[in-house]
Amino acid sequence: MTRTDMRLGRFRHFAAIDWSGAAGERHRGIAVAICAEGGGAPVLARPGHRWSRPEVLAWLVEELPADTLVGMDLGISLAFADRQAFFPGWSESPADAKSLWALIDAACEQEPHLSVGAFVDHPEASAHFRRHGGREGAMFGANGQKGGRGRLRVTELAQQSMGCSPYSNFNLVGAAQVGKSSLSGMRLLHRLAGRLPVWPVDPLPDSGSVICEIYTTIAAMAAGRSAGRSKIRNGAELDAALARLGSTAAGIASTVDDHTTDALITAAWLRRMAHDPALWRPAGLTGEIARTEGWTFGAT
């Protein structure tokens, strides 16, 4: 057994956060679920509460149980490996993920609610994003061309090979876009510096809690759903998915929003999979990728 393998058995709680980059203070799209060791059903933290992003930050700092593996449904970085830069041609393009987080937070320091409008509208950065109103930067596409799906990280290419349909974090348009939620999440990660490590940008520590990136579709697929039918909106289907993950039923009789089910299912999935050494050592995760792009836990 390696030292990394020994580290994995010490997690005692497992939390999943379905995140949102939407405008405003409080969001229906944020859900926080948590479960303990064993087979008990995951539960919502503050059920019925409409979270703000700063409240999630405070919960992570002040209320997170010891030795918790926290999965956040957002991209913890942007594509780098394809062009050896986040923002090719910009002299202030950061060298690694932590510097990227700091840059975004500094550009948006006057914006409330961990919003990121100032960064996506920055005269240099905006050239790399697809924004609303048909505004697509000249550097948005792969190989520095306009159009297409946009630049993908190595971990997103791995997700694609699993049958998922990841979106570029440079895309800020459409119902399935993840760009703004990822950028706002990077502001949160910057403000957690020194308090919670973020794997794999930070190495997996011997003790304490850890944040990782999750993609809830991967958890849903492990629970018996297809990538195209990953969303669950009723209690019976939720309980069936939880059972596939070794969890007791949540017992929700009524319809339920998919943000809640995504969080509940992914918390149970993290509990089931956190002790698998192979998921912490995927083939595509090099030291350079860890430092710049990060990785999605469960992408192989």
In a domain, residue 10? The reply is yes
pLDDT for the residue 3: 55
Beta strands in the chain (DSSP E): 13-18, 26-27, 31-36, 43-44, 51-52, 68-73, 130-131, 135-136, 210-213
**Gap between the Cα atoms of 131 and 121, Å rounded:** 9
Provide the 10 A C-beta neighbour count for residue 175: 4
In a domain, residue 100? The reply is no
pLDDT digits (tens, 9 = 90+) for 204-238: 999 999 999 999 999 999 999 988 888 989 999 99
pLDDT for the residue 143: 74
**Gap between the Cα atoms of 142 and 178, Å rounded:** 17
Strand-strand pairing, 51-52 and 26-27: antiparallel
Strand-strand pairing, 13-18 and 68-73: parallel
- Residue 200 preceded by cis peptide, ω within 30: yes
Which residues have CB under 8 Å from 260's CB, separation 6+? 18, 31, 33, 44
Tokens 């943000």 -> residue: 259
In a domain, residue 250? The reply is yes
In a domain, residue 166? The reply is no
Provide block-wise average pLDDT over 10 residues at a time, the chain (300 residues): 64 97 93 97 95 98 97 98 96 97 97 96 95 90 77 97 94 86 98 96 96 97 91 92 96 88 97 96 97 98
**What length does the chain have?**
300
pLDDT for the residue 103: 98
In a domain, residue 40? The reply is yes
In which element (H, E) is residue 148 found?
Answer: none
Per the structure, the count of domains in the chain is 1
Angle between helices 179-191 and 97-107 (to 10 degrees): 100
Please check whether residue 65 is in contact with residue 9, taking contact to mean a CB–CB distance below 8 angstroms: no
Whole-model pTM over 0.85: yes
In a domain, residue 125? The reply is no
Tokens of 76: 């913890």
Strand-strand pairing, 68-73 and 210-213: parallel
In a domain, residue 107? The reply is no
In a domain, residue 103? The reply is no
Characterise 15 by phi-psi region: left (phi > 0), alpha (psi -120 to 50), beta (else): beta
Residue range of the domain that includes 42: 3-76+192-280
